[in-house]
Structure 1
Amino acid sequence: MSIKKILAKYIRLSQEDENEGESNSIRNQRELLNAFVESSPDLSQYEVVEFCDDGYSGTNFDRPGVKALLDEVRAGNIQCIIVKDLSRFGRNYIDIGDYLEQIFPFLGVRFISVNDRFDSNDFDGTTGGLDVGFRNLIYSLYSKDLSQKVRSAKKTRMEKGEFIGSHAPYGYAKSSENRKKLVIDEKAAAVVRRIFAMADEGKNAVRIAAILNAENIPTPYGYKRLMGCDRKYNVVGNTNHWHNTTILTIIRDERYTGKMVNGKNRSPFVGSKHGKRIPKSEWIVVPNTHEAIVSEELFASVQERFSAPTRIRTEPTEIRPLMGKVKCGVCRHVMRRSNSTPATAYYFCESHQYVANSDCTKDRISESGLIQTVLSVIHTQMEVMLDMARLLDRVKTQSHQDMTALTEQIRQLQSILSKLRASKVKAYEKYKDGTLDRDSYISRKADIGKQIAETESQIVELETTLQSRYQENGQPVSIIESFKRYEGITELSKEMADELIDSIYIYGSEAIEIVWNHIDEYMRLVQYVKKGVCIDGNR
């Protein structure tokens, strides 16, 4: 019985790579890696899987593809990683060095960089040499230099009034002749004009959203999907309705007056998903870059109607441990909290303001009552976790004993295997000195060979079982530790809620659903304990 070995191809393409041409394209990297694997006989034993990050910078490891890859590596599911060059895996020379010289060797993972002619198997027990270190440093410095050049080029495009976004704002489309220019999408633009007209008439954002929902007019998200856009929007639930926030976003967007507005956010580096909002005075605004949907006068009139006195944001004096976690069980949107004192505050779903005949609950859920209910459920779940921890300790203890027994069985079989091989050699020596005739030698050789094959098969099977037990015995238990940390706590803190709870879905005043953090880990833990109990019915 052989152990399946997996080779992971990792491919990455960033925006700065796209500017360099086809050489670093996803297709080119994939073809290069496939050709290398096919031409390497020692890699034929591996099952090949692929991880890809399209549009992500290599300056950090905050990439979904590489995160998924490293999760599989830590779980012991990946034995070899192959990349086009070291810069595909990352451009931070310190992080790359840690993985190449410490983490991957410790986990027994082979790492191959094709263009760098680097194979960690060639440096077993040593580092990759100064050339690899210098190469990583050069990639890091090159990335910083390239990032500055890309940022500078991007700013130049902004100042020229070019559209630099991936998707045109609602009401516009990218010109087929010049993708850096916006043209009016008349069907959506008609809805934008109507929104501005209703706002100028005095209707508030909630009322405008309700009217559009009543007429089943597609939201910006719904309209883009109808137009064939496959962008993954941050939409909650299966339905998408107009909300006041959507309306406010549209009527405050100055691009509808024919101006190009860029530079609202500033990222610490090119490719970063975390941008910092900058003051409006520093935005890059270029007039007359495209046809306006609404006039400057109408836009100014609507801004005046919707202007609100500047408020100084202060941190709430009372603790709000469940803010952002309480959601409607029907529409799946976050429920609104009333601006009341902690004793009288409540949560409610706003959908009824936007959608006629909504199925969402109309109940007002008392915050203080909800906190006590959640705390009670946490205490109940804590008892379950403590019982699970005790059962887990017993299973692990027995599993450790099983692993010791398996190790001893393997040792005994290896001893038998050595004796069988010695017997095979002795049989040959007897045949050569004439004390054993040819037929007897052939018969004995075949018999010993059969025993050797059977013993080797038993060893492989036991080693596979032992490896599986080692992996199972290392199951994560952070969810148990999280609950144990709050044992005896009588008040629900925000820290406690954030660590334990992902969401709380409300289906009415009598029914709630709590979704715990680390739920996948908990289910794996349950399966592991069940398996341990089934192995030995006395446990």
Structure 2
Amino acid sequence: MARTSRRNAENIVAQETGSIYRTAIYARLSNEDGDMDTLENQLDLLKSYVGGQDDMTLSKVFFDNGYSGTNFERPQFMQMMEAVKRGDVNCIVVKDLSRLGRNYIETGDYIEKVFPFLKVRFVAVTDGFDTDNGDTADGMIVSVKNLVNDVYAKDISRKIITSFRTKQKRGEYIGLVAPYGYLKDKEDKHRFVVDEATAPNVRLIYQLKKEGYGDDRIARALNERNIPSPRRYRYQIGVTKSDRYAASLWGRNAVHTILTNLAYLGHMVQGKERQELCNNIPKHLTNKEEWIIVENCHEAIIDQQTFDEVQEIIKEKSRVQREKREKSRAGTIKEENYLKGYLECGCCGTGINLSQVIRKKQAVRHYYCRGYQQWREPFCSNKYRVDKHVLEQAVLETIKQTVFNMQDIEHDKLICRDNNGREKNSRRLGELALKKKQINRYMADLYVDYEEGLLDSHDYSVMKDKYQTEYDNADLEEKAIIFNMKDEDARAVSGDKLSELLKKYRKVKKLNRGMVECFIEKVIVYDREHFKIIIKGTDAIFESLKGVAQ
């Protein structure tokens, strides 16, 4: 009788038992890959391969375009791993090992540790590698291939860095987007030409600064004149396609960037950021001494005298502000912002910030609308500053009233809320998984905009931190729910303990962060005296209280 191969036997078993792998295909293309190895070619190959397997069904398609294989923090790759953790996928197929990654150690960890731990089958089609084969010789081949990929990636990085440095030193621009006021020369994309549509706006910004305008005031003046911001202008001329910039306004960061950019003197300034894979140097901002500056590469928009005058104004203002801070000792007198992340302007919907000044050796703290502070009317008319302690006291009294009402709930009702808790937790896990997936997509789009020069490093950092905080909060809540569902008995809290906790909250005289997190959904601020304090639903409050009571 002919001997049946191990693979054929597995296929027969899979067909007989109905064990079909839920398969995700993954493709990756970096900026250094050749034209023949396109994403389309990879995906066609992978779909054809999966379609020809009796024990696979195509469930998901993931691909990262323009991402190096040395870094595993790729948007689509991370989404694929989330799908694996959720159980949506238990098989991953790639064209070859280099598509998974070119980092020798980390790629090996995924193949030898992560995938087996998650019970995920991994296939590299053109390398003939399949973790279901369990052949030890393949493991040696994989290690060698990974090492070769790692060395190849670093060699490519070294060559690219050398090429870029040479171009930068010759005054050739290697970025994607020209500074506001300039366009890339159609005949030579490494050179700038003056954009006559926006260059007058740059001169106006410098003139207003000389007249004593602050950055915020300049931004407001530009918005009042309906002058498109850099992001909005690039959207209008088709440089960027993202609709998020269609109504983008001027802000202080955009103004400050223009006021300090040597490019407007006709100089080519590059190397403000640095990253070297071959030397294991991550992306970071460089000191001014490390910048590559080549003078007189293109037509100047601002003359040297005007530029120098503006730099002196900026320097003097920074000195005065620094002396004020040191004299007031504002940095040494701090108080926690218990309502951080829960406040929203009732006029424009933007967040509410907390300011602190020292008057007569006393710290004075007020909440103010960030939208009004930066853009004024007509964007927002909420010009009021709300005393921190007044708003906190209003929130505290609302929480106390809520506690009083909750104590009237029958003891039995308080206990029986666990009966349908698992169903609610399951729904919430689904919501959190969707939220995390959306945030990953937003962060991926954000990174693309940053890499293309549509966002400066400050804006990218602020927006990335915001999304990362939202992701971390969702992830933390997800882990807490999973932990609770696995151990129902451990999280059971008696009605007596909850009653004691509610009594304690009724006697509290000062708001704290824990109370805010337990009870508050959102606080909308309309003016100094009018607030809308939105309390969480009763079920959500009880769940939070149980965690505190434990």
Fold match by TM threshold 0.5: yes
Once the two structures are superposed, residues 394-413 of structure 1 have per-residue CA deviations (whole angstroms, 9 ceiling, x without a partner) of 558999xxxxxxxxxxxxxx
Q: Distance in 2 between matches of 1:123 and 1:54?
A: 31
Contact 2:93 2:124 in 1 (8 A): yes
Q: Tell me, what secondary structure is at the counterpart of 1:88?
A: helix
Shift of residue 46 of structure 1?
0.9
Structure 2 residue aligned with 1:337: 354
* 2:306 pairs with 1:295: no
SS across alignment from 2:312: helix
Q: CA deviation at 1:140?
A: 2.2
Q: Which residue of 2 aligns with 1:366?
A: 387
Deviation string, structure 1 residues 450-492 (Cα, Å, up to 9, x no partner): xxxxxxxxxxxxxxxxxxxxxxxxx94426989x9xx999888
What RMSD over aligned residues (CA atoms) do the two structures have, in Å? Answer: 4.5
Does the CA-based 8 Å contact 2:154-2:278 persist in structure 1? no
Q: How far did 1:211 drift?
A: 2.1
Q: Which amino acid aligns with 1:149?
A: K
| Larger CA Rg, structure 1 vs 2 | 1
Alignment-derived partner of residue 318 in structure 1: 334
Partner of 1:138: 148
106 and 205 in structure 1: CA distance in 2 versus 1, 3 angstrom threshold: closer
Cα offset, 1:246, TM superposition: 2.2
Give the match for residue 262 of structure 2: 254
- The separation in 1 between residues aligned to 2:365 and 2:314, in whole angstroms, is 27
Tell me, yes or no, if the aligned pair for 1:349 and 1:360 is still in contact at 8 Å.
no
2:57 corresponding residue in structure 1: 46
Q: CA deviation at 1:65?
A: 0.8
Q: Is the 8 A contact 2:22 2:58 kept in 1?
A: yes
Structure 1, unpaired ranges of 5+: 400-474, 517-521, 527-539
Unaligned runs of 5+ in 2: 1-16, 425-476, 485-490, 492-500, 545-550
Q: Which moved more, 1:104-113 or 1:311-320?
A: 311-320
Name the residue aligned to 1:95.
Answer: 106
Is the 2:523–2:533 contact (alpha carbons within 8 Å) kept by the matching residues of 1?
yes
Aligned amino acid, residue 208 of structure 2: M
Identity of aligned residues (%): 34
Matched residue, 2:232: 222
Q: Which residue of 2 aligns with 1:460?
A: none
Say whether residues 1:114 and 2:125 are aligned partners. yes
After superposition, residues 49-128 of structure 1 pair within 5 angstroms as: 49-123=60-134, 128=138
Letter in 1 for 2:295: P
| Aligned CA distance change for structure 1 residues 89 and 366 (closer, same or farther; 3 Å) | farther
Q: CA contact under 8 A between 1:173 and 1:185: conserved in structure 2?
A: yes
Q: Please give the alpha-carbon distance, in whole angstroms, between the structure 2 residues aligned to 1:55 and 1:323.
A: 40
Cα offset, 1:274, TM superposition:
6.6
On the 8 A contact 2:173/2:268 being kept in 1, the answer is yes
Q: Of 367, 377, 397, which residue of structure 2 is paired with 1:356?
A: 377
Letter in 2 for 1:222: R
Matched, 1:25 2:27: no
- Give the drift of 1:360: 4.2
Question: Aligned partners of 1:496, 1:271: CA distance in 2, in Å?
Answer: 48
Q: Using a 3 Å threshold, how does the CA distance of structure 1 residues 46 and 372 change in structure 2: closer, same or farther? A: farther
Q: Using the TM superposition, give the Cα deviation of residue 77 of structure 1 relative to its aligned residue in structure 2, in angstroms.
A: 0.2
Letter in 2 for 1:98: D
Aligned match of 1:169: 179
Residue 446 (structure 1) aligns with: none
Supply the AA of the counterpart residue of 1:364. R
Secondary structure of 1:6's counterpart equals strand
Residue range with higher mean Cα deviation, 493-502 or 258-267:
493-502
Check the 8 A contact 2:398/2:533 in 1, yes or no: no
Which segment drifts farther, 179-188 or 88-97? Answer: 88-97
The total of aligned residue pairs comes to 431
| CA distances 1:514-534 after superposition (whole Å, capped 9, x unpaired) | 899xxxxx9xx99xxxxxxxx
- The 1-side partners of 2:253 and 2:339 are apart by 18
Residues 278 and 115 (structure 1), Cα distance of their counterparts in 2 relative to 1, 3 Å cut: same
Is the contact made by 1:205 and 1:248 (CA closer than 8 Å) also made in structure 2?
Answer: yes
Instruction: Please report how far the alpha carbon of residue 356 of structure 1 lies from its aligned counterpart in structure 2 after TM superposition.
Output: 3.0
The range that moved more, 220-229 or 337-346, is 337-346
